[in-house]
């Protein structure tokens, strides 16, 4: 099993390697009659796209998406939607060096051990480029959620030690700086840190935060498919993610119940909470408040400093990786996090439709 299928009812199947002919995805189970344009997809693709020389890899890919099926006269038809992204800027020669050497902290060694064959050009399926297909599919999930009044917004919360504090968070500024931070001033400091890491032939980690608004209570299941577990599965499946938090996350372990518990109250006839330490999830189901989650990324594995490693013939050696790599994964991963959250919610919302007979009666009659 190659683990390339995600979701039960809103299901995606991705394919393609970083330096193969193309990447792509088939989205199955998307309801019909959702208005969709290529621009809707490209707007997200452009946020993930490499090519920002200031912070990103210098690999320039247009990331143009072709809609091959499932859309007619600007609307989804309820049939499988196939999306293709051709690779146009492969420089496989860059990777000749790693043909017989395992990069530290990347998937080269483990992939070889598992399959006995490895597309060493750019990491194949383990490349960050694989996330292009997820972003294309996530765009469709977002359009589905928009129809229900649900929004998914992610941004860079921190890069290395440079972090946006709660009191300095301005969502309107996310699109105004190249690192997608909700604070332009802090973004400038982050850019300086990234430039320094690049100068030192190094890389740096960081955190993406995501907020979901408009989700009604009761989405997610109570036992194995808890909403927080499903979101963790989706987020931990992104290359480079090393930790996931919901609401207060790790900080909850050092809090008192009197501090952590979110009090319920009724405001203008609506159930609400006095605080949201639980991040909008209780007992594995959405509670109607905003979903708050964090994805913590490690530093980019490929760095130009000399590192100790081994060859495929099990000899000790060193490697300096000089291909086209991001000194930080986080800014390009913001839209990947949004996409995986949107895909998870689209799937769980469709799964929820059969949970209560009253709902089934309403839908059936």
Q: How far is the CB of 256 from ligand FMN (least distance, A)?
A: 35
Minimum CB separation of residue 238 from ligand FMN in Å reads: 5
CB of 235 to ligand FMN, least distance (A): 11
Nearer to ligand FMN, 273 or 332 (CB): 332
State the minimum distance, in angstroms, from the CB of residue 107 to ligand FMN.
4
At a CB cut-off of 8 Å and minimum separation 6, what does 273 contact? 262, 263, 264, 265, 287, 289
**Phi, psi for 34 (deg, rounded to 5):** -90, 120
Alpha-carbon distance values, 16 to 193, 238, 324 (Å): 33, 16, 19
Tokens 């597309």, residue located:
119
3-state SS class at 256: coil
156, 208 contact by CB (below 8 A)? yes
Looking at the Cβ atoms of 124 and 247, the one nearer to ligand FMN is 124
Closest to ligand FMN by CB, 230 vs 300, is: 300
User: Quick one: tokens of 339?
Assistant: 């996409």
* Residue 107 vs 292, nearer CB to ligand FMN: 107
Please, which residue, 180 or 302, has the CB nearer to ligand FMN?
302
Q: Is 80:69 a contact under the CB 8 Å cutoff? A: yes
Task: Return the residue nearest ligand FMN (CB atom).
Answer: 128
Residue 28's SS3 state is: strand
94 to 304, 307, 311: CA distances (angstroms): 13, 18, 17
Contact set with ligand FMN (CB under 6 A): 57, 106-107, 126-128, 131, 238-240, 298, 300-302, 325-326, 329, 332-333, 336
In whole angstroms, how close is the CB of 291 to ligand FMN at the nearest point?
21
Query: Are 189 and 165 spatial neighbours (Cβ–Cβ below 8 Å)?
Result: no
Nearer CB in complex with ligand FMN: 34/329: 329
Whole-number minimum distance, CB 335 to ligand FMN, in Å?
Answer: 9
141 vs 329, which CB is nearer to ligand FMN?
Answer: 329
Least separation in angstroms between CB 170 and ligand FMN: 24
Residue 201 DSSP SS3: coil
Distance (Å, whole) CA 163 – CA 167: 11
CA separation for the pair 210, 271 (Å, rounded): 23
């Amino acid at each position: 099993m190659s683990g390339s299928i995600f979701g039960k009812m809103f299901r995606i199947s991705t394919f393609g390697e970083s330096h193969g002919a193309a990447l792509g995805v088939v989205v199955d189970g998307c309801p019909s009659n959702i208005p969709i344009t290529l621009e809707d997809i490209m707007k997200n693709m452009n946020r993930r796209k490499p090519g920002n020389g200031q912070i990103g890899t210098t690999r320039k890919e247009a990331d143009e998406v072709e809609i091959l099926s499932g859309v007619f006269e600007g609307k989804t038809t309820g049939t499988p939607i196939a999306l293709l992204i051709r690779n146009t800027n492969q420089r496989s020669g860059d990777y000749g060096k790693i043909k017989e050497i395992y990069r530290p902290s990347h998937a080269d060694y483990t992939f070889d051990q598992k399959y006995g064959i490895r597309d060493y050009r750019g990491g194949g399926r383990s490349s960050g480029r694989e996330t292009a297909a997820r972003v294309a599919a996530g765009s469709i999930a977002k359009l589905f959620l928009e129809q229900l009044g649900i929004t998914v917004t992610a941004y860079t919360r921190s890069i290395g030690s440079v972090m946006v504090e709660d009191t300095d968070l301005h969502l309107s500024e996310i699109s105004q700086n190249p690192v997608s931070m909700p604070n332009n001033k802090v973004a400038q400091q982050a850019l300086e840190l990234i430039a320094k890491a690049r100068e030192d032939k190094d890389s740096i980690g960081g955190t993406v935060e995501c907020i979901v608004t408009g989700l009604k209570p009761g989405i997610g299941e109570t036992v194995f498919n808890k909403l927080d577990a499903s979101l963790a599965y989706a987020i931990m499946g992104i290359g480079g993610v090393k930790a996931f938090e919901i609401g207060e996350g790790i900080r909850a372990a050092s809090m008192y119940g009197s501090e952590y518990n979110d009090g319920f109250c009724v405001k203008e006839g609506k159930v609400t909470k006095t605080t949201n330490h639980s991040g909008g999830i209780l007992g594995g189901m959405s509670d109607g408040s905003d979903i708050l989650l964090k994805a913590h990324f490690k530093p980019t594995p490929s760095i130009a400093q000399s590192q100790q490693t081994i060859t495929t013939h099990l000899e000790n050696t060193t490697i300096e990786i000089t291909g086209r790599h991001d000194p930080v994964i986080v800014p390009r991963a913001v839209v990947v996090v949004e996409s995986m959250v949107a895909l998870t919610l689209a799937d769980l919302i469709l799964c929820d439709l059969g949970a209560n007979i009253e709902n089934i009666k309403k839908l059936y009659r």
